[in-house]
């Protein structure tokens, strides 16, 4: 096998040791004779590493081949090296390999030897992503998704651009005031990447059935639509669970922002969360029930600071990457995380589990427990 140090590794030769710096960490390898340093520098991806072990050991009589081989095995074990042979096959064009090269090396930092680091970028390239809402969070999220290399987007909004939007809605400019958000967002994204496939819906969602009609066939949904405030979360949850589509949702609440994700069949859903929260607190039960019964929400537009928007968008898009690529497990399922402006802290605000009696996703829990499901 041919190996090379990952481009995310920086080697240092210090007194009697080799230090490899990566991801804010340090790996220290004893090297009293200098053989480890020579071996590490010789890992260029052109010569099988067993041959390099023989060559280096031959120049250092005091060093046994097994010592260097043990170092090589540790480099493999801790994912500090990669094999160029694993990168020979990719569906990415030369354009995409260059444009998203920094993404590719980022994914490569997590990959085991033999794994193709292009695979995660390919998954982003082919994923069908639906974004509901082209406001503050929506425009940041859309820009991030396109920068990541997501090519197939469905976007939805019914609103027009106002001057007060421009403190945070980064896809729009002064001359766009009065224009439809969704059409303007589509045009601006295509200016950033002309290879995109974007379906735009300028419409107002009015039911779970409306949401289902939009999200059907997508790999993931990101919902940052905030109208109607007391119903959108329920409609989103019902539609996505019914369609088996993972979703991420979030929003701003004055000086904090919140975000969570649902993977139908693997995690609890939004209804599980609401039931859990109501069972834990009579106040939550009373307020949430009254808000929905009387459609109570802010009488005036809520405050929104771009810094909260940017951090929240980054969190939600990071979760999107995890769900689409599988590079790491999702981190926002069965929990509501929050970012607070006051102390700049990201923490877990609430937790819940899948409720087997949930009227929305309980049937999925039943399917998981069924004998047929266990034998498949």
Distance CA 64, CA 75 (A): 18
283-337 pLDDT, tens digit each: 766 766 676 665 656 667 889 999 999 999 999 999 999 999 999 999 999 999 9
CA distances to 7, 36, 104, 105 from 96, rounded to whole Å, are 19, 36, 10, 13
Provide the pLDDT for residue 14: 94
Q: Residue 53 — pLDDT band, cuts 50, 70, 90?
A: very high
Note the pLDDT of residue 376.
34
Q: Would you put residue 167 in left (φ > 0), alpha (ψ -120 to 50) or beta?
A: alpha
Write the burial class of residue 61 (CB in 10 Å: 0-12 exposed, 13-18 middle, 19+ buried). exposed
Report yes or no: 117 and 325 within 8 Å, Cβ to Cβ.
Answer: no
Query: How much is the pLDDT for 230?
Result: 79
Asked if the model's pLDDT at residue 46 lies above 60, the reply is yes
Closest CA to 156 of 189, 125, 134, 188: 134
d(CA 1, CA 41): 16
74-87 average pLDDT score: 94
> Which pLDDT belongs to residue 65?
95
Q: 304, 328, 303, 308: which is closest to 318 by C-alpha?
A: 328
What mean pLDDT do residues 251-279 have? 94
Residue 164 has pLDDT above 90, yes or no: yes
**Does position 373 have pLDDT exceeding 50, yes or no?**
no
Q: How far apart are alpha carbons 63 and 66 in whole angstroms? A: 8
Residue-level pLDDT at 369: 53
Reply yes or no on whether the pLDDT at 204 is more than 80.
yes
Note the pLDDT tens digit of each residue in 106-146: 999 999 998 999 999 999 999 999 999 999 999 999 999 99
As a whole-number percent, the residues of the chain with pLDDT over 90 amount to 85
For residue 232 the two structure tokens come to 């959108």
Provide the token pair at 40: 């590490």
Say how far apart CA 78 and CA 109 lie, in whole Å. Answer: 10
The average pLDDT across 208-234 equals: 93
CA 84 to chain centre: 26
Specify the pLDDT at position 294. Answer: 58
Nearest in space to 30 (alpha carbons), one of 21, 45, 14, 18: 18
Q: What is residue 293's predicted lDDT score, i.e. its pLDDT? A: 63
Contacts of 213 (CB under 8 A, 6+ apart): none
Q: What are phi and psi of 197, to 5 degrees?
A: -115, 105
Would you place residue 368 in the very low, low, confident or very high pLDDT band (cuts 50, 70, 90)? low
Residue 314 to residues 12, 142, 148, 180, 214, Cα–Cα distance (Å)? 33, 11, 12, 25, 24
pLDDT at 81: 96
3-state secondary structure of 65: helix
Take residue 205 and report the two structure tokens written for it.
């969602």
DSSP-derived 3-state class of residue 115 = coil
Q: What pLDDT is attached to residue 297?
A: 65
- pLDDT recorded at residue 309: 97
In DSSP terms, 198 is beta-bridged to: 153
CA distance 289 to 230: 10
- Of all residues in the chain, what percent carry a pLDDT higher than 70? 93
Spell out the domains of the chain, with CATH numbers in brackets.
2-82 (3.90.930.60), 85-121 (no CATH), 127-375 (3.40.50.720)
Give pLDDT, residue 87.
85
Structure tokens at 54: 């023989």
* Residue 156, beta-bridge partner list: 132, 201
CB atoms inside a 10 Å sphere around CB 198 = 18
């Amino acid at each position: 096998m041919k190996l090379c140090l990952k481009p995310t590794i920086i080697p240092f030769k210090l007194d009697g040791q080799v230090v490899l710096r990566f991801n804010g960490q340090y790996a220290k390898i004893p090297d009293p004779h200098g053989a480890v340093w020579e071996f590490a520098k010789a890992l260029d991806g052109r010569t099988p590493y067993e041959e390099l072990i023989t060559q280096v050991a031959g120049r250092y009589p005091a060093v046994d081949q097994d010592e260097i081989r043990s170092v090589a095995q540790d480099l493999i074990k801790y994912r500090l090296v990669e094999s160029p042979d694993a990168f020979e096959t990719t569906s990415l064009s030369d354009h995409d390999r260059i444009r998203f090269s920094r993404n590719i090396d980022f994914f490569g930092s997590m990959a085991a030897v033999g794994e193709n680091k292009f695979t995660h970028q390919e998954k982003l390239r082919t994923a069908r992503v639906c974004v509901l809402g082209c406001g503050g969070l929506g425009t940041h999220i859309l820009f991030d998704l396109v920068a990541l290399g997501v090519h197939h987007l469905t976007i939805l909004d019914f609103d027009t651009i106002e001057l007060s939007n421009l403190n945070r809605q980064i896809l729009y400019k002064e001359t766009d005031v009065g224009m439809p958000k969704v059409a303007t967002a589509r045009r601006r994204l295509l200016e950033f990447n002309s290879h995109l496939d974007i379906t735009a819906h300028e419409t107002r969602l009015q039911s779970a059935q409306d949401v289902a009609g939009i999200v059907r066939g997508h790999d993931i949904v990101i919902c940052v639509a905030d109208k109607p405030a007391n119903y959108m979360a329920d409609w989103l949850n019902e539609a996505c669970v019914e369609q088996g589509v993972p979703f991420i949702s979030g929003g701003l609440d004055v000086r904090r922002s919140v975000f969570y994700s649902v993977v139908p069949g693997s995690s609890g859903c939004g209804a599980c969360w609401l039931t859990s929260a109501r069972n834990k607190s009579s106040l939550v039960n009373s307020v949430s029930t009254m808000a929905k019964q009387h459609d109570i929400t802010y009488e005036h537009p809520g405050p929104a600071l771009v810094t909260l928007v940017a951090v929240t968008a980054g969190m939600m898009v990071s979760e999107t990457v995890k769900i689409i690529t599988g590079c790491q497990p999702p981190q926002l399922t069965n929990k509501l995380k929050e970012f607070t402006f006051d102390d700049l802290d990201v923490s877990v605000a609430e937790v819940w589990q899948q409720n087997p009696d949930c009227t929305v996703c309980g049937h999925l829990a039943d399917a998981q427990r069924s004998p047929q499901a266990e034998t498949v």
